[in-house]
Structure 1
Amino acid sequence: MPIQPQAAKYKPESPILSLGEKIGDPVHAADFPKAILRFRNDRWAEAVGLDHLNDDQWVQHFGRFQPLEGTLQQPLALRYHGHQFRVYNPDIGDGRGFLFAQLRDHAGRLLDLGTKGSGQTPYSRFGDGRLTLKGGVREILATEMLEALGVNSSKTFSLVETGEDLIRGDEPSPTRSSVLVRLSHSHIRIGTFQRIALEQNSELMTRLVDYCLTNLLQPAPEGVAPPIALMRQAVENTAELAASFMVAGFVHGVLNSDNINITGESFDYGPWRFTPHWEPGFTAAYFDQTGLYAFGRQAEAIHWDVAQLAVSLRLLCEAEPLIAELEHFPALYQDSLITHFFRRIGLTPGEREASLQFIESCVQAMAQTGTEIDRFFFDWRCGDPRSPARYAGEAWDKVRMEAAAFLPAGTRDHPYWTDDAPCSMHIEEVEALWSAIADRDDWEPLNQKVEAIRRMGEAHQPRLT
């Protein structure tokens, strides 16, 4: 998605209904004691034609969930299964969220408005269906930072504080509550296909494949079976996602198959972190005790998840062509790594092997010297490092020599590049921003940080896709 979306007229739709009643269950939002607007994403509201809403109307739709005109008239809690830390779980689904609306953006793409923390559903199990206010604030920070860094991410569209006291075992309780609305390029997950495959519902699987190719992806080329076309695009999209995480220094934390969108868009941010250093073993979730979803294992994890999509699509076709598509993942990942790495550093990629070698040299230099990821990209923008004394030594000499072979592709025209330090989002700042809200209800530091992140995004220029 572009950094600066363009204005658009409101274009509501509801093609999800074409999949029938087995794709999800009609539900109602919780009746919250309060509805206090804390964040509205005006630039993306403009991109989907909802910027005309005043704050009261906004809260009615995104805090009280009065239906939007022309789209779903009752929310749907979507059904899916998934592997969670590689253990199959058939007892999941939208447990604290639902699909609220579908609409087109400025580029004509079908987008979903989905919720997090909107109340209990048939899939809540023993959960309360709520979201902590801190969790909502963290999702704002994650999505804004990832968008600015060129990662294909859902957008935090709205955050409304709901006036309940929530009990949580992993943070001080009771804590404040919220409901979040995210703007996403679909909520169709790998886990959606897994559920249908387990139920052996080939008719619904065929319709789901067609829905994805018609509304979310590109149509199948002539002579290519629809499941193969879907698999091909899913592999391409998720390989890019994995590469963009690495270049951003981002650790999602919970890369279960129910958290992987068929479009390759990142979403649903829980224990995420940005790693300060290029540390392959860095984990985001305290419960990831084996490091399954560590920074350096994210490509492996996403590749494994996409393999589960191949298993599911065997309901419609033979395994061999699906496996052939899956085997393209490593090369596609490397290609995307080149694209995102060179975009962030502001250089033009060259020959493939030389480009990969340059990335490896940069990674080794960062690791050996303890240089922060954000500082490296900030200083080496366009290949000519600022503060050369900071980059003395053999490892950096190698980087300097190899960088000279690539032509600049970015610029340093934006005032951001004259700042003393890069815009980062490490855990200490996340906690400080939350403390200002928790201790004195001060939202200004968060608002200022969002503006700083967007300024950084402008300096990096729009996403390439």
Structure 2
Amino acid sequence: MDVIEPKPAPYRPDVQIASLGDAIGDPVTAADFPETVLRFRNDRWAPAVGLESLSDEDWVRHFGRFEPLPDNLPQPLALRYHGHQFRVYNPEIGDGRGFLFAQLRDGEGRLLDLATKGSGTTPYSRRGDGRLTLKGGVREIMATEMLEALGVETSKTFSLIETGEQLHRGDEPSPTRSAVLVRLGHSHIRIGTFQRAAFERNEDFVAKLTRYCLDQYYGAPDVDDPGAALLERAVDACARQAAGMTVAGFVHGVLNSDNINITGESFDYGPWRFTPKWTPGFTAAYFDEGGLYAFGRQAEAIHWNLAQLAGCLTLIGESDPLKAAFDRFPDRYREHFVSQFLWRLGFAPRGSEEDLHLVAAAEKALTESGVLIDRFFFDWMGRPQWVDPAYAGEAFAHFRTRASAYEPARARTHAYWSGEPCSMHIEEVEAIWARIAEDDDWAPLTAKVAAIRAMGAAYRD
């Protein structure tokens, strides 16, 4: 399984979004915050886009006051989109508390976006205040760092700046502190972006969006059937996303079509959780009463969203090739799921059927035994032979037999493997936030990010 590592590069602005014209978004102005206190800057990814040399003062000017970056977007854009929210179509959404701030190339040559959350009101804010709680920003740091370490394609939390306002929210103690977050991501073109264009019957814009995505994100500008070509690539990317989140034990919480982007990169973290155990019905959002986006249903949810993209693309293509591309999702999900499961186990693949049986045995054992997910992968990583009495029971019998035929793909040489598994369960998330909220103590968060990155280095070692 390939994991993208940040590769140092010079600053390379590249405002490709302008080629989509006025239909993609609306120019907006950032809020004028009473304070801008830098709380987090991503020094792991800043060199990949040539911004590591910014002083803290300059960092705040760009990512707290939103002074444009050189030769980049002269004014932020609040992107336009629609979407299905818990499978109910909503034509009244768009960037309501964020905007696209800049586009630039990374060391791999990929077009990346710098986009915000909590940067003020836009034409799509409706009755919202356009703000982000500091707790929400802290939680997004933890989610993105953990997912990246576990090999999941995710946006990166690039910056978090506290903004000195008191916010009132119905689902957490109020008043609470405010912040503005900047994320670095590989596209903010959503399935919902296509849905808006299709809702408006704007065939020309659907065609333009399709060509843009094929060219900028998939390196395929010249194809005979652009709609089917894009859907085929999106199906593969989103199948990888669903598989990665599941192997990580991650539950996104709100897998609406406006939260699924065209490159299959997980982003926009609200009520997320990591499930401690392999519990298919585990949900992250208290309002997901029917379990639509439960741990065991995330692949189904993403596949359903891809059906909405396919429907949009019928405006520019024939149904049969689109259906063929859409129908590949189950196979592609299974392939990615097995590949990422073996990667996290540290086992060298043996062949599709054997690998599939091994992973099925592991899932069954985890479900029946109640062993913690992170504990399981930590104990077995690179150890195809059974070594721990915790796995002596009947629940793991079939898995032990299957695992004994495998060879390790990586050695347990990193210092991480001599300690304890790194997890991100809700109790620790709340404890880290409590130290910030009560004592303005950021040391536990800093230590947790360091521990997560050490785990990531161990998996990549």
Class of the TM-score when normalised by the shorter of the 2 chains: over 0.9
Partner of 2:307: 307
- 1:314-329 correspondence to structure 2 within 5 Å: 314-329=314-329
Deviations 1:394-452 (A, max 9, x none): 22222111012222112201010111x20000000000000000000000100000000
Q: Which amino acid aligns with 1:442?
A: D
Q: TM-score, normalised by structure 1?
A: 0.97
Partner of 2:205: 204
Partner of 2:65: 64
Two-structure CA RMSD over aligned residues (Å) = 1.2
Measure how far apart 1:385 and its partner are: 6.0
State the alpha-carbon separation in 2 of the partners of residues 221 and 276 from structure 1. Answer: 45
- 1:183-222 correspondence to structure 2 within 5 Å: 183-219=184-220
* Unaligned stretches of 5+ residues in structure 1: none
- 1:98-247 correspondence to structure 2 within 5 Å: 98-219=99-220, 224-247=224-247
Measure how far apart 1:360 and its partner are: 1.2
SS at match of 1:51: coil
Q: Which amino acid aligns with 2:234?
A: A
CA contact (8 A) 2:155 2:265 kept: yes
State the alpha-carbon separation in 2 of the partners of residues 387 and 352 from structure 1. Answer: 26
SS at match of 1:179: strand
- Which moved further from structure 2: 121-130 or 347-356? 347-356
Measure how far apart 1:218 and its partner are: 2.9
Partner of 1:431: 430
Deviations 1:347-378 (A, max 9, x none): 01222122111111111111111100000000
SS at match of 1:20: helix
SS at match of 1:412: coil
Deviations 1:41-98 (A, max 9, x none): 0121111000110000000000000000011010000000000000000000000000
Partner of 1:85: 86
Partner of 2:277: 277
State the alpha-carbon separation in 2 of the partners of residues 3 and 141 from structure 1. Answer: 19
Partner of 1:446: 445
Measure how far apart 1:207 and its partner are: 1.0
CA contact (8 A) 1:3 1:461 kept: no
CA contact (8 A) 1:147 1:153 kept: yes
Measure how far apart 1:382 and its partner are: 1.4
CA contact (8 A) 1:254 1:285 kept: yes
Partner of 1:346: 346
- Which moved further from structure 2: 397-406 or 427-436? 397-406
Q: How many pairs were matched up? A: 460
SS at match of 1:164: strand
State the alpha-carbon separation in 2 of the partners of residues 226 and 411 from structure 1. Answer: 44
Partner of 1:364: 364
State the alpha-carbon separation in 2 of the partners of residues 183 and 44 from structure 1. Answer: 9
Partner of 2:292: 292
CA contact (8 A) 1:6 1:106 kept: yes
State the alpha-carbon separation in 1 of the partners of residues 327 and 5 from structure 2. Answer: 35
State the alpha-carbon separation in 1 of the partners of residues 447 and 375 from structure 2. Answer: 21
Deviations 1:3-28 (A, max 9, x none): 64121100001110110001100000
Partner of 2:417: 417
- Which moved further from structure 2: 378-387 or 298-307? 378-387
SS at match of 2:101: strand
* Unaligned stretches of 5+ residues in structure 2: none
State the alpha-carbon separation in 1 of the partners of residues 252 and 115 from structure 2. Answer: 19
Aligned-pair identity (%): 63
Measure how far apart 1:393 and its partner are: 1.5
